[in-house]
Amino acid sequence: MLSIISTPIGNLKDITLRSLETLREADIILCEDTRRTMILVSHFGLKARLQRYNEHSETSIASALELLRTGKHVALVSDGGTPCISDPGWKLVRLARESGIKIQSLPGPSALITAAAGSGLPVDSFVFLGFLPRSRSKIRKTLSAAISLRKTVIIYESPYRIQELLQLLNEQFADISTVVLAKEISKIHEEFMSGTPANLLAILAGHPPKGEMVLMLGPVHKNTNENTDQVD
């Protein structure tokens, strides 16, 4: 059996009782970084063996699938949050389903859902883009397509690129009047900041951000003014 288990994105207390029970029952825990997962395992006194899972390696995927085929109970975790949501896992899940292996997906911590719920933006329906492409022209096209749907748009971003992204929004997506930035979710310095892209740029200029963050763009009600024909 393959168990997909969400792990804390900040406070270790966010893990569910069911997740802890399943991790205790598992024969092997597949993880992105054994050092990161060992913190969780040691804190809760878990005994399962850790094995690194690399979704970019066919050998790693094949090894994980073989464990499942031999009847092992395998738990799949990421460094934090829900596996498969902008984290490794979907390839193994697909192969396990095709092989007729039982899969259980446990609910739990997710930066996406936590940030959306606390944003104050309409999220009865939204567009999730995960991490954006690196190319500025591809970013513009991706954002333009998402924003045109007139729904809240949710993006994962790193502290090293967030200011550049806000600058692009400020310069080329003038119809976006409200953005919400969630950082350090479920940690001591958790913070939600909202305003225009220009407002957030001014705030971050004096307080360089740390850690991965979630940027949410409020829905617009007309076409944006950006030019998707520009190139890098």
Give the C-alpha separation, 187 to 84, whole Å.
Answer: 22
pLDDT tens, position by position, 163-198:
999 999 999 998 898 999 999 999 988 999 999 999
Q: Compute the average pLDDT of residues 119-145.
A: 95
* Domains in the chain with CATH codes: 2-105 (3.40.1010.10), 111-217 (3.30.950.10)
Q: What is the predicted pLDDT for the residue at 222? A: 63
Report the share of the chain in percent with pLDDT over 70. 95
**DSSP character at residue 175:** T
Give the C-alpha separation, 33 to 36, whole Å.
Answer: 5
Q: What is the predicted pLDDT for the residue at 221? A: 75
Under a CB-based contact definition with an 8 Å cutoff, are residues 48 and 75 in contact?
Answer: yes
Closest by CA to 55, choosing from 25, 22, 78, is: 78
Distances (CA, A) of 105 to 56, 72, 89, 92, 164: 22, 16, 11, 13, 36
